[in-house]
Amino acid sequence: MIKNNIIYSGYPEWRFNVLKAKGDYIWDKTGKRMIDFTSGWNVTNLGWNNPEISDAVIKQIKKSTYVPMWTADDVQNEYAKLLVQSLPKELNVIGKATGGTEANEEAIKTARAYTKRKKIVGFKNAYHGQSFGTLAIGFLPKYVKSISPLVDDFIQIEYPKLFDNKKSPEEILYEFGQKLEKILVKEDVAAIVTEAGIITGWGSTYVAPKGFLTLVRKLTKKYGALLILDEVGTGFSRCGKLYGMEIENVVPDIATFAKGSSNGVAAIGTMVTTTKIAEKTHRLTNLISTFGWTSVACAAALKTLQIHQRDKIWLKSAKDGKYLIETLRKELLDVKQVADIRGIGMEVGVSFKKDKIVNEIVQKAEDNGLHIVSDNERNIQLMPPLTISRENLNKGIDILVTVIKSLVKKT
């Protein structure tokens, strides 16, 4: 869609102009206030326009907004130190980036340079960015036919999702492991790229069986492939832990971050890897980013991480996510057309049996004061701010349940 001279690509397309946003709320240009259940797609995890982060940015702007790539601002060094301290000790070297796409590109380049292999394994219908390389990880060929060819030596496999699968979690995991091992046994795969047990970026919110990431880590180590963990959507308390890797206590070789890093205040992305990997690759991978880690972005990211740690936001996320899933299941699982309700932490999907009904639900919810998004097919992805009040969480749930029940009666 082209609106106001701007291209809005993919889904969701342009829906309204924003007047303002604060805390749990977002307002359109007419002044209508809506409870937000999107966080800008896992970006404003600490609520819209968090005042502490704004104050930190204003203070930084008065000092400096940008320094050349061959220099450093104190705030960059301070954020780098705090970030690696929050991660497993092995992950202690940072590549600067402007967002998730760039961070994942840096990860792929690093993996190829370190292993001297070319093949990258990813999951179908996953999203890791908009570049040729990151699109090749999970975008199905039919969706990128007009811009193909993408990048060679990318292998897409099916995600071992629990939803719409008649097999037990154990059977799903076992069969997945068998298929993955057949690929890795050739020892020509540089890395596998995945999220921590849930797909956040495509809109499906598919959840894998418990033990998924542990199995992937075991097999990658066995056959000399690296594990690249995309934490762009799962990071910063979204899934009930500060980082998704903590769900199964798996340490990847490379992790990538963006979205919630600065709570939406400034563009920033990060690739983090080990000293061993970085020392062998940093002169080979050309990790140059003119606007990666600007002073302002780092000030926002530093304050964001400090708030997550100080307030242990992940604990509230786990508690509220459990409540959200249990409440929706109680209200909706016996409702016609509702196929599944699933998630990890405050990353929750509501799937339907009928195509396109989600578009009607999204619009009617908006009309009734709830801002949500969907995959434009059969799944609504709920991502409320992690700081949302229980009162507003309940109000949003009530609106969603009422809308779904009213529309299902017409089907």
| Average pLDDT of the residues in 380-398 | 98
199-219: b or e for each residue (b if 16 or more CB lie within 10 Å)?
A: bbbbbbbbbbbeebbebbbeb
Q: Would you say residue 45 has pLDDT above 80? A: yes
Domain-wise residue ranges, the chain: 34-43+313-408, 52-311
Residue recorded with tokens 């993919």: 10
Q: Give the single-character DSSP code of 338.
A: E
Which residues, other chains included, contact 151 with Cβ-Cβ below 8 Å and sequence gap of 6+?
A: 132, 133, 136
Q: Band of the pLDDT at 411, cuts 50, 70, 90?
A: very low
Q: Quickly name the fold that domain 34-43+313-408 has.
A: Aspartate Aminotransferase, domain 1 (3.90.1150)
Q: Per-residue DSSP letters for 154-215?
A: EEEE----STT--S-HHHHHHHHHHHHHHHHTTS-EEEEEE-SSB--SSS---BPPTTHHHH
Q: Band of the pLDDT at 409, cuts 50, 70, 90?
A: low
The whole-number pLDDT of residue 301 equals 98
pLDDT more than 90, % of the chain: 93
| pTM across the whole model | 0.97
d(CA 98, CA 104): 11
Can you list the alpha helix ranges (DSSP code H) found in 31-121? 39-42, 51-63, 74-85, 100-115
d(CA 380, CA 365): 11
Q: Would you say residue 216 has pLDDT above 60? A: yes
Query: pLDDT tens digit string along 319-377?
Result: 999 999 999 999 999 998 999 999 999 999 999 998 879 999 999 999 999 999 999 89
Q: Quickly name the fold that domain 52-311 has.
A: Aspartate Aminotransferase; domain 2 (3.40.640)
